[in-house]
Structure 1
Amino acid sequence: MTWLELAEDHPFGVHNLPLCSFGRECAEWVGVRIGDRILNLAGAESLGLVDAGGSLDGETTLNRFLAEGRPTWTRLREQLTGLFSDSRQREKVEPLLFEVGEVRLGLPFDVADYVDFYSFEQHARNLGKLFRPGMEPLLPNWKHLPVGYHGRAGTVVVSGTEIPRPWGQRKRPDDAAPTYGPSERLDIEAELGFVVGVSSGGAVPVDEFREYVYGAVIVNDWSARDLQAWEYQPLGPFTGKSFRTSVSPWVVSLDALDAARVPGPVQEPGVLPYLQGRAHHGYDIRLEVTWNGTVVSRPPFAGMYWTPAQQLAHLTVNGAFARTGDLYASGTISGASPEETGSFIERTWNGAQPVRLSDGSSRSFLLDGDTVTISATAPGVDGAAVAFGEVTGTVVQEL
């Protein structure tokens, strides 16, 4: 219950409380969303309403707060729940609230490093069939370790940022040699990204996942499939992936997702000891992808093969540090049916089965002016949904 005028099942109620970076005029702050408003957290801490160890004052991103660790994360969440539930706090809190529609939303954290995984079996099988026809879709290592690649942290952008069509080398099937030009097969990948809060000095065990990871955002890993197909062997994705990655502005805490936890998958063959642990679980999160306003797929995150805890364990197993602000993405979320796929190369089977949009037009890959929006929700306490908001991007002509 809250003194704010919210429906009990509002997806941004006190059971959610995602963090963000927001601004108005020349000022910028870190905040927390409640309903359709944002609380200025620095202002709340300066008044003694919350205690985040001084990590909010003067900050425009969440990094300093994220570095404080789980005791501070838990304390702030408990204090915020109390503020929004105790009507005696209303007079102090209301002057610090801003309407979501009247502010600009920024990248919520400075991205220290960016890694993208490949952890949904159906997606891996689909792309294996498309990229390596006639061969076994899964490569021999796929069920032994979470496959991934390093992206470019500097090209991660917040929802609403325009996406320029990338240029690069591509080789059409009938071409004798590669050519240079704008991508003709621009695609999306609907994913979730996990945000590291606490830096590690080395390997992070599976069961310490919650001590290092604060929460999650929606990710759209824009992909130029023609550039990718020509360059990806033998070293993997490069310019076909590194031009832009979009994230949602709201960071949903792992605490808010407790009710959405589901058992991790049975993994056969069995995995090595460093990938085992009690934190081997997934989340019942449902995404929705719209293309120019038409819903074209609803990918289910619950079908993940390699869990977020296993991904972090593998990311650091060689002694690589995890750093505050690291973002690692799940990989494309795809289920068994075309309507559950998280990329358009799968949804249209590499263009052979175009989708029809509500305006009567058909699409295989993205055209200039197309807008893609990915949203996500998870089950919360007492039947109330936990919303992640959305990540949106519009394709514009190449730079």
Structure 2
Amino acid sequence: MSLTDATHDPALQSWVASANTADTDFPIQNLPYGRFRVRGSGEPWRIGVAIGDQVLDLRLALDALAWPAELMALLQPLAQGDLNALMARPPAERHGLRAALSQALSAGDDRAPELAGCLVPQANAELTLPCRIGDYTDFYTGIHHATTVGKLFRPDNPLLPNYKWVPIGYHGRASSIIPSGQGFRRPIGQTLAPGASEPTVGPVRRLDYELELAIFVAQANALGEPVTMAEAEAHVFGLGLFNDWSARDVQAWEYQPLGPFLSKSFASTVSPWIVTLEALAPFRAAFERPAGDPQPLPYLDSVANRAQGAIDIQLEVWLQSAAMRAQGLAPQRLSRSNFRDAYWTLAQLVAHHTMNGCNLQSGDLLGTGTLSGPQPDQAGSLLELTAGGKQPITLASGETRTFLEDGDTVTLRAVCERPGARRIGFGACSATVQQAMA
């Protein structure tokens, strides 16, 4: 079944000139949603759509045109900064708004003069969390990450017996999810040094990033009502970039027997734009398990998921130290990977999360877990890149890193590219490590 329509036409152009450049993350084929206000204005937040280097202010657009009544009902909460209201609507209504915005922004549309006054340069926009995130679950879908990390601790048995049967996850803390661009303090924690008999408390030494995607929940499901594989993607609004910062030394000391706690809850950074699931339709791929691996249990399997459950998203991690900034050195790319290598699909994560009757809410965030590839230079964390801190990497400034230092800025990026489709991107997900509180 084809998931594409006229909004994905690679020949489609916009009257917003910057949306037609080859290197933009935000051509008219993308149209991601975010929450913003004019920088320094102190105005209420409202929802905008990224188009080229501009933001279409949906508060202004609501008044600029005579929208049909059904679209007015969708735009009104967006004008007030409430993206969750749209996320909760049925897929057909979300699709209708996307199609209407695409048409209004298309080259030659006679409404361009009115909407041109509704554009805000992204350089003048202050961005925040794209929606209200009520709850957060982090999964562990990156089998190459799981295997590499497992080898560090269990060389003879890196993957635990359940990994290939059940999507592993844990309940995270939504209150410490922060928007891209906001720095965070190095956490303080309890750790046990190698060879020590008693733990100590102090700033963590093994601070790490994790390259992930954020999955934003669309429609809610009622408590006690599982979501089937056939229904699961209707409950996904879209994707963003997600950096689940990790204190590896705290994690090693605390994770048994209940898993991550303070090693993860101090900060997680999410990108400001949600790329809708519809925009990703041209980049679908078949979902296939490696030969010899068990096939998913029936509640995690469907014909549609096998045919097009995977998504081809190229991911990158960049690092710039304080010394690099001082020397005028550009950020340095540390790794590249692809979401296609994930062991579980979006639909499988939603179906599994709700199989016991757990009720997801509109705006909930599901992290994919660290997305690494099979090659050493495709690692999505420093824990992997440096073999647990044993093999430092060298930066362009001559500095070395095993784990993050104060002043380091980590930026995640992602793009989708495929012949016959327009390249789309996710923007940046970036944050700087600050000194621990005294």
**TM-score, normalised relative to structure 2:** 0.88
Shift of 1:289: 0.5
Shift of 1:18: 0.5
Residue 120 of structure 2 is aligned to residue 98 of structure 1: yes
Moved more, 189-198 or 279-288: 279-288
1:11 to 20, 25, 33: 25
Equivalent residue, structure 2, for 1:122: 144
CA contact (8 A) 1:45 1:54 kept: no
**1:80–1:380 distance in 2 versus 1, CA, 3 Å:** farther
CA contact (8 A) 2:191 2:199 kept: yes
SS at 1:53's partner residue? helix
- Give ranges in structure 1 of 5+ residues lacking alignment: none
CA contact (8 A) 1:52 1:76 kept: no
Q: CA separation in 2, counterparts of 1:308 and 1:315?
A: 11
Equivalent residue, structure 1, for 2:370: 332
CA contact (8 A) 1:56 1:64 kept: no
Q: CA separation in 2, counterparts of 1:381 and 1:213?
A: 26
Q: CA separation in 1, counterparts of 2:370 and 2:218?
A: 23
**1:52–1:119 distance in 2 versus 1, CA, 3 Å:** farther
Equivalent residue, structure 1, for 2:211: 190
CA contact (8 A) 1:203 1:319 kept: yes
Question: Where do residues 223-372 of structure 1 align in structure 2 (5 Å cutoff)?
Answer: 223-266=246-289, 268-277=293-302, 278-280=304-306, 281-292=309-320, 293-372=331-410
CA contact (8 A) 1:257 1:380 kept: no
Equivalent residue, structure 2, for 1:32: 49
Q: CA separation in 2, counterparts of 1:54 and 1:123?
A: 40
Q: CA separation in 1, counterparts of 2:263 and 2:76?
A: 37
2:238 to 186, 195, 215: 215
Shift of 1:16: 0.3
CA distances 1:227-246 after superposition (whole Å, capped 9, x unpaired): 00111111111110111110
| Amino acid of the structure 1 residue aligned with 2:151 | K
**1:18–1:380 distance in 2 versus 1, CA, 3 Å:** farther
Shift of 1:84: 0.8
**1:94–1:55 distance in 2 versus 1, CA, 3 Å:** closer
| Amino acid of the structure 2 residue aligned with 1:284 | D
2:66 to 48, 54, 66: 48
Moved more, 377-386 or 18-27: 377-386
Shift of 1:26: 2.0
| Amino acid of the structure 1 residue aligned with 2:58 | L
| Amino acid of the structure 2 residue aligned with 1:328 | L
Shift of 1:380: 5.9
Question: Where do residues 155-174 of structure 1 align in structure 2 (5 Å cutoff)?
Answer: 155-174=176-195
Q: CA separation in 2, counterparts of 1:206 and 1:343?
A: 31
| Amino acid of the structure 1 residue aligned with 2:112 | R
Q: CA separation in 2, counterparts of 1:381 and 1:91?
A: 33
**1:67–1:226 distance in 2 versus 1, CA, 3 Å:** same
Shift of 1:186: 0.2
Count of matched residue positions in the alignment of Structure 1 and Structure 2 = 398
Shift of 1:262: 0.9
Q: CA separation in 2, counterparts of 1:394 and 1:136?
A: 36
CA distances 1:265-320 after superposition (whole Å, capped 9, x unpaired): 22621221111112341111111111111101012111111111101111111000
**1:191–1:52 distance in 2 versus 1, CA, 3 Å:** farther
Shift of 1:360: 1.1
Moved more, 276-285 or 5-14: 5-14
Q: CA separation in 2, counterparts of 1:164 and 1:48?
A: 47
2:103 to 82, 95, 109: 82
Shift of 1:107: 0.5
CA contact (8 A) 1:159 1:391 kept: yes
CA distances 1:108-127 after superposition (whole Å, capped 9, x unpaired): 00101100100111111111
- Give ranges in structure 2 of 5+ residues lacking alignment: 1-12, 321-330
CA contact (8 A) 1:116 1:149 kept: yes
Moved more, 71-80 or 217-226: 71-80
Shift of 1:382: 3.4
| Amino acid of the structure 2 residue aligned with 1:348 | T
Q: CA separation in 1, counterparts of 2:311 and 2:203?
A: 37
Shift of 1:55: 4.9
Moved more, 315-324 or 21-30: 21-30
RMSD: 1.5
Moved more, 54-63 or 21-30: 54-63
State percent identity of aligned pairs: 40
Q: CA separation in 1, counterparts of 2:419 and 2:368?
A: 24
Shift of 1:347: 0.6
**1:273–1:356 distance in 2 versus 1, CA, 3 Å:** same
SS at 1:214's partner residue? strand
| Amino acid of the structure 2 residue aligned with 1:11 | D
CA distances 1:42-73 after superposition (whole Å, capped 9, x unpaired): 32223334715245345224111211221221
**1:20–1:305 distance in 2 versus 1, CA, 3 Å:** same
Moved more, 61-70 or 238-247: 61-70
CA contact (8 A) 2:282 2:421 kept: no
Shift of 1:179: 0.9
CA contact (8 A) 2:147 2:158 kept: yes
